[in-house]
Structures are given as structure tokens and as C-alpha cells.
């Protein structure tokens, strides 16, 4: 009986570690969401990144802005009336949960069309054998110079350490 408990505990620990390792390659790109200097500034920056399913974009913005996830046609015409999702928290983290197109605009009147607060993102499907994403990104386009890539590595390492400690405590 004790051997069965140790075996199942080891299996649970291995599953937890495997899940943590899979998320190790996910990245979070941080964007300072403010007025842009050109109509393609944010889209050009996003195109220079390599986003995969599971990656995240953190939008940091002040009072007077928001983030709307929109269709391609709404992005092209800066239409805010039919958003897929609306975010208003001043620190929005969007998980890119599928491959393909994501579009984002600021829904405040004139911010998309006159101040170019819009971004198109293309997400690749993550393959099981994909190597981890790079820890740095190419230089971002002028404007959102605060945009950086942050690895989720430290959180993953803490999780692995906790799983190892749990395994040791169980005598595995």
C-alpha cells in the first residue's frame, strides 16, 4: 500500500513538473499602450516578435485608455462598437490562446484612428518540440520603446523547486 501511494505521488509530481516545463517556453510581451507616432507602429512591433499559442501580451496604460480585442475589419476601420473582449484595468494581460489573428484597439474616441492605438498580432501554433522562445526581442519600433519580452522562467523554476521539495518530503 505504501509503495502504491509513493508511486501515485511520484506520478502526480512528474505531471506537475511536466506542465511547468511546457509553460517554460511561454513569454509575456509588455506594451506601453499610449499614443503612437505612426499608424503601423504597434503592428510593426508585434510583427517583429514571434508569438506562439500560450504567450501573453501585457498592456500597460493610464486613465483615459482601454484595450478592445476586435475583428480584423473593426481594426482596419477603428470600429469599437462590437468588441470581442473589452479590458479597462490599466494593466491588461491577454493570453494568446489560439493560433492566427488577434486585433487590439483603444476604444476611446479618436485614439485608434487619430492617435494610432491599434495593433495586429499573428500567433503561430506551438509545436510540442518547439524550442523555448528567446529571452530578448529585436529592437521595437519607435514609440512603444518600453515594450520588452519577459520570460516566465523564474516562476517556472520556483514551481520546479516546490515539486522537488514535495517529492523529497514524500521520500521519493
Per-domain boundaries in the chain: 26-169
- Domain range 26-169, CATH class: mainly beta
DSSP annotation of 133 reads P
**Which is higher by pLDDT, 135 or 58?**
58
The answer, yes or no, to whether residue 115 has pLDDT greater than 60, is yes
- Of all residues in the chain, the percent with pLDDT exceeding 90 is 56
pLDDT of the residue at 28: 96
The answer, yes or no, to whether residue 67 has pLDDT greater than 50, is yes
Q: Are strands 148-151 and 118-124 parallel, antiparallel or unpaired?
A: unpaired
The pLDDT tens digits of the residues spanning 6-62 come to 444 443 343 444 444 444 568 999 999 999 999 999 999 999 999 999 999 999 999
In 3D space, the residue among 117, 140, 112, 108 whose CA is nearest the CA of residue 44 turns out to be: 140
CA distance 64 to 111: 10
* Lookup result for grid cell 477603428: 78
Who contacts 134 (Cβ-Cβ below 8 Å, separation ≥6)?
50, 149
Amino acid at each position: 500500500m505504501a509503495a502504491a501511494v509513493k508511486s501515485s505521488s511520484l506520478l502526480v509530481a512528474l505531471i506537475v513538473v511536466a506542465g511547468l516545463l511546457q509553460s517554460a517556453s511561454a513569454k509575456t510581451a509588455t506594451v506601453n499602450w499610449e499614443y503612437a507616432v505612426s499608424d503601423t507602429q504597434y503592428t510593426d512591433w508585434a510583427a517583429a516578435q514571434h508569438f506562439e499559442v500560450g504567450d501573453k501580451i501585457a498592456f500597460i496604460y493610464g486613465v483615459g485608455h482601454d484595450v478592445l480585442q476586435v475583428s480584423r475589419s473593426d481594426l482596419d476601420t477603428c470600429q469599437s462598437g462590437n468588441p470581442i473582449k473589452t479590458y479597462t484595468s490599466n494593466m491588461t494581460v491577454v493570453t494568446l490562446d489560439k493560433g492566427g489573428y488577434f486585433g487590439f484597439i483603444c476604444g476611446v474616441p479618436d485614439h485608434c484612428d487619430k492617435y494610432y492605438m491599434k495593433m495586429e498580432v499573428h500567433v503561430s501554433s506551438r509545436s510540442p518540440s518547439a524550442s523555448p522562445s528567446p529571452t530578448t526581442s529585436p529592437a521595437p519600433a519607435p514609440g512603444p520603446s518600453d515594450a520588452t519580452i519577459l520570460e516566465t522562467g523564474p516562476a517556472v523554476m520556483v514551481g520546479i523547486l516546490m515539486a522537488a521539495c514535495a517529492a523529497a518530503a514524500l521520500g521519493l
